[in-house]
Amino acid sequence: MADLAQVTDHIRNAVGENSGLGKTVKLDFGDAGKIFIDGASTPNTVSNDDNAADATVSMSWDDFMALSEGRLDPMMAFMQGKMKIQGDMMLAQRLAPLLKR
């Protein structure tokens, strides 16, 4: 199973210099850590900082891994309460391609 540093690097590579997001997103895994995607900066950056974001996606690390591996459908995760979104929900939906492994 991948750890936070490996997933952060994967997302950093997927985001590249311009993700097209134009806003900030935080993935909050509770005690497992956070990933902050700054899609508003040029170039875009990805870190493990706990900054305020336009959208925050909160879920357990295990559920995130299942989602990224295609074993958990994002809509089902949201409907079952396994994934919570605060802020710009449309922005959060645009994350899916960046999170696939």
Q: pLDDT per residue over 49-97, tens digit each?
A: 999 999 999 999 999 999 988 899 988 999 999 999 999 989 988 887 7
pLDDT tens figures, 19-45: 888 999 999 999 999 999 999 999 999
Domain interval for residue 64: 4-99
pLDDT greater than 80 at residue 101: no
How far is it, in rounded angstroms, from Cα 77 to Cα 74?
Answer: 5
Q: Based on the structure, what is the number of domains in the chain?
A: 1
Question: Does the global pTM surpass 0.85?
Answer: yes
One-letter amino acid at 9 equals D
Find, among 101, 49, 68, 75, the residue nearest to 37 by Cα. 49
- CATH number of domain containing 26: 3.30.1050.10
Model pLDDT, residue 85: 95
Structure tokens at 63: 């559920």
